[in-house]
Structures are given as C-alpha cells and as structure tokens.
C-alpha cells in the first residue's frame, strides 16, 4: 500500500471558516440584543421557554406528588430535633395551620401536642372552579393557609393565600366559600364578621383612577390592595381600597417609597 501524503492546511479555507463563524456569532448577538431591547416575539418565546423549563425543573417533585417542595425550606439554625414546650398546661388550646400528613390542614391542639380536632382542606375541593383567580394553583400542594380564626362554636374560617376564604363547621363540613383573592391575616370584627385583606387585579382601567399607575400600559396586571369586611354568612359587606385611601389622603408617594409599585 502506498501512504497518502498528509493534507496541507489551507489558510484561505481556515480564514473563511473563522470569518463565517464570527459573522454568524455577531448576527446572533445583535439579533439577541435587539430582541432583548424591543422584547419582540422572539424574546417572549425564548423567555417563555426558559421560564417553563425552570418551572418544570423546580416543581417536578411537587407536580408528581412525591415531595411538597413549596412547604419545605432549609433549617434556620443548626442542630436536629424539636424544641419542647415546657410551659405548664393552662388549659388553653392552640390553632395551627400547616402541612400535615400529605396535605394542608388546620389542627386544634393542647400544649402537650395532642390533637383535639383537625380540618383537612383541599383548594380543589372547596374551589372546584377557580376562575376568579388570575393564577389558580396548579395542585393542592401549590397553595397554603395564611390567616385563620376559630369561633366559639368550633367552626373555623381561613384564607388560602391569594386563593379564597372558606368556613367549615366543627365537623369539617363546608358552611360557605368566598370567591375573592383574599390573603394573609384574618381577624374577627368587633361588629361581627371578619376583616380580611383582598386584592383586585386588572390590566386596564378606563377611568384611570390611580394615575400614573393605571395609565402606564404593561403586560402585567395592576394589583389594587383592598380590605374586605365579610359577614358571618360569608358575604362582602364593605370593600375599602387601600390605594384609594392613600390617594384621598395625599399619600401617593408611599406607593413607590420602597422602590416598586
């Protein structure tokens, strides 16, 4: 067999390939810069794909029902175990809201930890049609209880965080549900009923009530904070706009005092 002579490098060919790669890279860079500046369809598509992949990766255990990642966080302090409550039992009971035995739940316990009553709750059961929410929870593990009260008759009233309010009797049967974007604290009113924070969301406001916030057009909804008075039978009897209160009091600047609106 005769050996083939080694191939010689073609400087012109190499220069062409390097130049072509540089031109393609520059075009892609400029296209990306333009898309990022103008936030055109290509930018939105890439951003949506990136967000979707990130969401799936971060929520894979939660969506599969294998690990409630939304209810877990690193321990704040080193060590293991729990802190034992050594205070004497004064007979008073404690209402807890948390994630117990695979689901969201309210529990009434004694100081020694023994359970007096429990109310397992599922957002999908209490609100089977959550069309009143712009972003309803994907699963029952994607929402939690934030704000709760227990009444003398043993009934409980509680908020799903930005997901509605419900009242259950002492046996766990549904008394009423409130289809509002309620959240955080829930306190009894001295005149009866409950005071609960709420939120109204909209993309456009023809009346431009809160200029300049409602005048600026964005693709994100404007969130108007509210305080709701809810009657004992679950009806909204009074609705106060926190933004309107600030505007009426000449305190509009407080809306951006923290650097965001």
Give the separation between CA 257 and CA 252, rounded to whole angstroms.
9
Q: Is residue 261 part of a domain?
A: no
Contacts of 167 (CB under 8 A, 6+ apart): 155, 156, 157, 174, 175, 176, 177, 234
- How many residues are there in the chain? 261
Q: Phi first, then psi: give them for residue 50, nearest 5 degrees.
A: -60, -45
Q: Is residue 11 part of a domain?
A: no
User: Using CB atoms within 10 A of its CB, is residue 45 exposed (0-12), middle (13-18) or buried (19+)?
Assistant: exposed
Beta bridge partners of 230: 194, 236
Q: Is residue 70 part of a domain?
A: no
Residues of the chain with pLDDT under 50: 261
Claim to verify: residue 39 and residue 109 sit in the same structural domain = no
Claim to verify: residue 109 and residue 215 sit in the same structural domain = yes
Q: Is residue 82 part of a domain?
A: no
Claim to verify: residue 48 and residue 99 sit in the same structural domain = no
Claim to verify: residue 29 and residue 127 sit in the same structural domain = no
Which SS3 state, helix, strand or coil, does residue 79 take? coil
Claim to verify: residue 233 and residue 127 sit in the same structural domain = yes
Claim to verify: residue 188 and residue 98 sit in the same structural domain = yes
pTM over 0.75: no
Task: Tell me how many domains the chain contains.
Answer: 2
Q: Is residue 246 part of a domain?
A: yes
Claim to verify: residue 194 and residue 100 sit in the same structural domain = yes
What is the per-residue pLDDT for 140?
A: 93
Q: Is residue 49 part of a domain?
A: yes
Claim to verify: residue 191 and residue 113 sit in the same structural domain = yes
Range of the domain at 30: 20-60
Q: Is residue 161 part of a domain?
A: yes
Q: Is residue 72 part of a domain?
A: no
Claim to verify: residue 44 and residue 126 sit in the same structural domain = no
What is the per-residue pLDDT for 216?
A: 66
Tens of pLDDT, residues 88-100: 888 889 999 999 9
Cβ atoms of 238 and 229 closer than 8 Å: yes
Which SS3 state, helix, strand or coil, does residue 18 take? helix
Claim to verify: residue 226 and residue 108 sit in the same structural domain = yes
102 — alpha (psi -120 to 50), left (phi > 0) or beta? Answer: left
What is the per-residue pLDDT for 1?
A: 55
Q: Residue written as tokens 């397992």?
A: 120
Claim to verify: residue 192 and residue 99 sit in the same structural domain = yes
- Beta strand 222-230 with 236-241: parallel, antiparallel or unpaired? antiparallel
What is the per-residue pLDDT for 50?
A: 74
What is the per-residue pLDDT for 6?
A: 63
How far lies 181's CA from each of 102, 129, 172, 210, 220, in Å? Answer: 25, 14, 22, 20, 17
Beta bridge partners of 217: none
Claim to verify: residue 32 and residue 130 sit in the same structural domain = no
């Amino acid at each position: 067999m005769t050996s083939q002579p080694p191939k010689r490098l073609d400087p012109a060919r190499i220069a062409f390939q390097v130049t072509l790669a540089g031109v393609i890279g520059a075009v892609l860079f400029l296209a990306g810069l333009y898309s990022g500046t103008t936030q055109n369809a290509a930018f939105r598509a890439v951003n949506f794909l990136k967000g979707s992949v990130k969401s799936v990766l971060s929520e894979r255990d939660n969506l599969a029902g294998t690990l409630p990642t939304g209810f877990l966080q690193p321990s704040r302090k080193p060590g293991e175990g729990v802190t034992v409550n050594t205070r004497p039992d004064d007979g008073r009971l404690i209402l807890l809201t948390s994630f117990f035995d695979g689901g969201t739940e309210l529990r009434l316990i004694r100081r020694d930890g023994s359970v007096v009553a429990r109310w397992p709750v599922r957002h999908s059961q209490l609100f089977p049609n959550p069309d009143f929410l712009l972003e309803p929870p994907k699963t029952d593990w994607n929402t939690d209880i934030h704000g709760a009260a227990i009444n003398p008759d043993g009934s409980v009233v509680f908020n799903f965080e930005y997901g509605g309010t419900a009242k259950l009797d002492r046996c766990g049967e549904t008394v009423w549900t409130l289809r509002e974007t309620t959240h955080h604290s829930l306190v009894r009113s001295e005149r009866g009923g409950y005071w609960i924070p709420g939120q109204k969301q909209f993309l456009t406001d023809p009346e431009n009530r809160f200029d300049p916030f409602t005048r600026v057009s964005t693709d994100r909804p404007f969130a108007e904070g509210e305080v709701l008075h809810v009657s004992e039978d679950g009806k909204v009897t009074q609705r106060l706009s926190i933004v309107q209160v600030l505007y009426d009091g000449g305190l509009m600047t407080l809306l951006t005092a923290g650097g965001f609106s």
